[in-house]
Structure 1
Amino acid sequence: MNPSVVVLDYGSGNVRSVVRMLQRVGARVTLTADRQAALDADGLYVPGVGAFHACMTALRAASGPELIAQRLRSGRPVLGVCVGFQVLFDGSTEPTSIQPPPPGLGHFAGVVERLDAPVVPHMGWSHVTAGAGSRLLAGVGAERFYFVHSYAARRLLGGRSGGEPTVTTAEHGTTFVAAVEDGPLAGTQFHPEKSGDAGAQLVENWLRSL
């Protein structure tokens, strides 16, 4: 049977393209914020667009942090994308009117910072350097992926699974973290759903791990 995936619906952007891509590669997809559905699915996909702290506020309102933490405690896969990847870090230096600024989820040690580049945002196609042994990037480690962001984690200080995370990087003015695989938790700064066949292959790779 094809794996079931819940795309966490907490009001962060247009996720219809995410649903279509997952269906394209064979997943049984549900777009919902229902707690039990999110816990029971084979995989949980956490999207995210816009500002880090606003995304965190919306995620907390939907009990997203608890859902993610509970899944990870039981070894159930979670994939965060774009700002849905950034919120997995300890925090962000992105300015906000939200006071006090909500911290990140802390599953990855490190801070999301503004890109040090002549042109920001980083918008368009970029090559990535896949981490050694990456399962997520298997077969597409030399491909380009689509990025839209002004902030990124410049380095990963460590994972929280107890293992050694696999880190994929990219460059825009400086080297930054483009993807991380750490046990059941994975994330990408780029948008797989906007990355054509390479993005579809990456998501298919993730589905095979569920």
Structure 2
Amino acid sequence: MIAIIDYGMGNLRSVQKAFETVGCPAVVTRSPQVIRDASHVVLPGVGAFADCMKNLDHYGLIQPIRAAIQSGKPFLGICLGFQVLFSESEEFGLHKGLDILSGRVLRFPWTCKPSVDSRPAGSAGLKVPHMGWNQITIERRAPPLAEIENGASLYFVHSYYVAPADPSVIATTTTYGLSFASSIWRDNVVACQFHPEKSQSVGLRIVKNFGAWQ
């Protein structure tokens, strides 16, 4: 059974439906016992970093998340659930994350620099949030990326990106004005900025691979 963590934010039903579509039973829960008993754990999310951390704390989910990761069971973070695994975010001020992985969540630089001349090369004319289909470059083939083509397109919706302190954890990169980590892999933890549940056949393959990961 796959536990999808419910902290009051995110597209929980679409994530659950994606797993059900590929034949992986999944339950949406905020029960520490259910999370503890699950074979796999998913932390999805859409929204603001600070609100996510506040809700995780409010529902008593921080310790169960840490315990799930420490247990060695497969763990998947999606979008905001990817970002909060890191040390801190500069979204609407500086906010502490779960600090499972060292690094910071940063604003796309042209969102706060109105002069086109001050933007990174290649970013002029790009809109924030980064929304829609974009390609991944596979740097390290994490288990959920098995049989995924290098250069495959996946669906993104985000205004901030993760800058890991240790670049060796990066599984894929994506370019949107700059090259950023679009997924990471360390031990039993995989997390992605893109939304596999919204990425049609490629995303469903990733979901199925995660469900089969032991």
Query: Which stretches in structure 1 are left out of the alignment for 5+ residues?
Result: none
CA drift at 1:26: 1.4
**Higher mean C-alpha deviation, range 132-141 or range 32-41:** 132-141
**Alignment size in residue pairs:** 198
State the TM-score, normalized to the length of structure 2: 0.87
Matched, 1:73 2:77: no
Matched, 1:152 2:161: yes
**Higher mean C-alpha deviation, range 114-123 or range 41-50:** 114-123
Aligned to 2:143, the other structure's residue is in SS state: coil
CA drift at 1:136: 2.1
Deviating beyond 3 angstroms after TM superposition, the runs of 4 or more aligned structure 1 residues are: none
CA distance in 2, matches of 1:74, 1:135: 18
The 5 A counterparts of 1:22-171 are 22-96=19-93, 102-116=95-109, 117=123, 118-140=126-148, 141-153=150-162, 155-158=163-166, 165-171=169-175
CA drift at 1:102: 4.2
Whether contact under 8 Å (2:68, 2:75) holds in the other structure is yes
Higher share of residues assigned helix? 2
**Higher mean C-alpha deviation, range 164-173 or range 108-117:** 164-173
The structure with more radius of gyration: 2
**Higher mean C-alpha deviation, range 62-71 or range 86-95:** 62-71
CA distance in 2, matches of 1:14, 1:138: 25
RMSD: 1.5
Sequence identity percentage: 36
Distance 1:88 1:59, change over 3 A: same
Q: 1:192 aligns with which of 171, 190, 196?
A: 196
State the TM-score, normalized to the length of structure 1: 0.89
**Higher mean C-alpha deviation, range 55-64 or range 85-94:** 55-64
Amino acid at match of 1:149: H
Query: Which stretches in structure 2 are left out of the alignment for 5+ residues?
Result: 110-122
Q: 2:185 aligns with which of 168, 181, 185?
A: 181
CA distance in 2, matches of 1:185, 1:57: 22
Aligned to 2:207, the other structure's residue is in SS state: helix
CA distance in 2, matches of 1:166, 1:13: 24
